[in-house]
Amino acid sequence: MQIPRIPGAGLVKGMGVTLATMVKTLFRPSRYLATVNYPKVKETPVPRARGVIALDPEACTVCMLCSRQCPDWCIYIEGHKEEKQPDKPEGRVRVRSTLDRFDIDYALCMYCGICVEVCPFDALFWSPDYEYSETHMGKMLHDQDRLTAWLATVPPAPGLEP
């Protein structure tokens, strides 16, 4: 830590830094700008970003594990049992759980990802989509259709470092 000898040298040095940044940003904005014009230009989040939880209703077996493990209980699941007739006449009648309601209250969700992690049948996924804000807190409760629609935005997993 050297203290400058000439009084004011540090001030001039600091002014040099701001001026250099200004000139660089004015003439090479594409390289030196740190921010983007948000609604016009959007940054792409990383594939693993925890933006929103997407649901694959076909895979869900209404086991309620995610709902029970959620630290703030923001997942609401309802289902009923359906009898599935056997394909062959000698087969047994199978009971299959069907999903009636799968709501996530994103006003409560703390994006910990435990639900995605505990799901034994790969029904839940993280999607990096983040543009689902609402003007009213109650509207943050998103239903099954909305969650299923997000499934399309789930990116493929990134490759791994050896």
Positions in the binding site for another protein (CB under 8 A) = 1, 3-4, 7-11, 13-19, 21-22, 24-26, 29, 32-37, 39, 45-50, 56, 59, 69, 71, 110-114, 116-117, 119-123, 125-126, 154, 156-162
State the nearest-atom distance from the C-beta of 121 to another protein, in Å.
5
- Say how many C-beta atoms besides its own lie within 10 A of residue 37's C-beta: 8
d(C-alpha 110, C-alpha 30), whole Å: 35
Q: Which CB sits closer to another protein, 138 or 162? A: 162
Those residues whose C-beta lies under 8 Å from the C-beta of residue 115, and which sit 6 or more positions away, are: 53, 66, 67, 69, 70, 75, 124
Q: Work out how close the CB of 12 gets to another protein at its nearest, in angstroms, rounded to a whole number.
A: 9
Provide the H-helix boundaries in 28-90. Answer: 29-32, 65-69
Tokens of 40: 């016009």
User: Among residues 59 and 140, whose Cβ is nearest to another protein?
Assistant: 59
Closest distance to another protein from the beta carbon of 71 (Å): 4
Pick between residue 9 and residue 137 the one whose CB is nearest to another protein. Answer: 9
47 Cα distance to chain centroid = 9
CB of 104 vs another protein, minimal distance in Å: 16
